[in-house]
Amino acid sequence: MALHINVVADIQLQEPMLLAAWPGMGHVALKAFTFLHEALRAENLALVEEPDYFRVPGISIQDGLVQSALLPQSGFYYWHHPDALGDLMFFVGDQQPVAGKEYHLASALLDFAGSYGVKRVITAAAMPTAINHYQRSRVWMTATSKEILTELSPYCGRVLREGQVSGMNGLLLGVAKQKGMEGFCLLGEIPFYTTEIENPKASMAVLRVLNQVLDLEVDLRELDELAKQTEKEIDHYLLELQQREQEEEKQTEDQEGPVTVH
């Protein structure tokens, strides 16, 4: 089924690279690339209408009232590098597509990006490890070729040798390689117990690497402050979880009653 892309700007890009992100564990990719395109003040390029690619899982309620059902919003943005070192094209998707539509969506988005001269694709993802939420997030990488791994090695020396990158943040690179494009994925470490919690620390770690790779000077202090707030929120979450488990254990013991030994 065809994807409708509504172009809103008539532009040309110089040696552009595509940075694409969807929600995933810790919202690492989506937070990183949304923050980046907003910090660079990237401009709207195209709106992507995808009603057949998504399901609306439920409704929103505000002040007791049901809100109108809204489809996920996706779009392309562009930014001209002031030093002519390669322009950037962003794609940001609010939701992963329904099962069976992933490949078609990735192919259509890459064809659109390719029409502007995109030859390199960059994605990001989370990498759950045994770190705790106060530790610094390290960044790992995987790429479509050994040459790119070598190119990135001065900025990121940890290579994901085996494994998977799930969802569109991973699939897009595989489809890009099929189409003759090159690319890489940066994976920010998150604690394995926080996969459902937004992790700005991991997003910041990914952006530190991209600042160097793409010769950018994006100020990350706002993300740093958000990361510190998130640490406290995780502390509170873990404390609540511990208290709940203790209460459940006590209830179980009370229900079992006294133990009689003969």
Please state the rounded mean pLDDT for residues 142-154: 97
Of the listed ranges 59-73, 84-98, 124-138, the one predicted with least confidence: 59-73
In a 13 Å sphere around the CA of 162, the CA atoms on its Cβ side amount to 0
Asked whether residue 39 carries a pLDDT value surpassing 70, the answer given is yes
Per DSSP, what are the bridge partners of residue 90?
A: 19, 77
Domain ranges of the chain: 10-55+69-241
Would you tell me how many other CB atoms lie within 10 Å of the CB of residue 56? 11
Asked whether residue 158 carries a pLDDT value surpassing 60, the answer given is yes
Asked whether residue 258 carries a pLDDT value surpassing 60, the answer given is no
Asked whether residue 10 carries a pLDDT value surpassing 50, the answer given is yes
pLDDT of the residue at 83: 86
Question: Cα dist. 157→85, 121, 141 in Å?
Answer: 23, 19, 8
* Mean pLDDT over each residue of the chain, to the nearest integer: 90
**Cβ neighbours for 214, distance < 8 A, ≥ 6 positions apart:** 17, 85, 86, 88
Which structure tokens are listed for 41? 């003040």
* DSSP one-letter string for 101-131: -HHHHHHHHHHHHHTTT--EEEEEEEEEES-
List the one residue out of 82, 116, 127 whose CA is nearest residue 7.
116
Asked whether residue 144 carries a pLDDT value surpassing 80, the answer given is yes
Please state the rounded mean pLDDT for residues 8-20: 97
CATH 1.10.10.60 for domain 10-55+69-241, yes or no, is: no
Is the distance from CB of 188 to CB of 126 less than 8 angstroms?
A: yes
What percent of the chain has pLDDT above 90? 65
Asked whether residue 260 carries a pLDDT value surpassing 50, the answer given is no
Is the distance from CB of 181 to CB of 110 less than 8 angstroms?
A: yes
Q: What is the identity of the amino acid at 194?
A: T
47-73 pLDDT per residue, tens: 998 777 877 767 788 899 988 777 777
Cα–Cα distance, 152 to 140 (Å, whole number): 11
Which structure tokens are listed for 150? 């070598």
Location of structure tokens 């990121």:
156
Please state the rounded mean pLDDT for residues 139-157: 96
Q: Which of the two residues, 94 and 114, has the higher pLDDT score?
A: 114
Cα–Cα distance, 229 to 197 (Å, whole number): 12
**Cβ neighbours for 157, distance < 8 A, ≥ 6 positions apart:** none
User: Helices in 143-220 by DSSP H: which ranges?
Assistant: 146-152, 168-178, 200-213
Asked whether residue 259 carries a pLDDT value surpassing 60, the answer given is no
What percent of the chain has pLDDT above 70? 95
102-121 pLDDT per residue, tens: 999 999 999 999 999 999 99
Instruction: Return phi, psi of residue 158, to 5°.
Output: -100, 120
Asked whether residue 256 carries a pLDDT value surpassing 70, the answer given is no
Cα–Cα distance, 179 to 120 (Å, whole number): 11
Instruction: Return phi, psi of residue 111, to 5°.
Output: -65, -40
Please state the rounded mean pLDDT for residues 142-170: 95
pLDDT of the residue at 262: 46
pLDDT of the residue at 143: 97
pLDDT category, 32, cuts 50, 70, 90? very high
pLDDT category, 240, cuts 50, 70, 90? confident
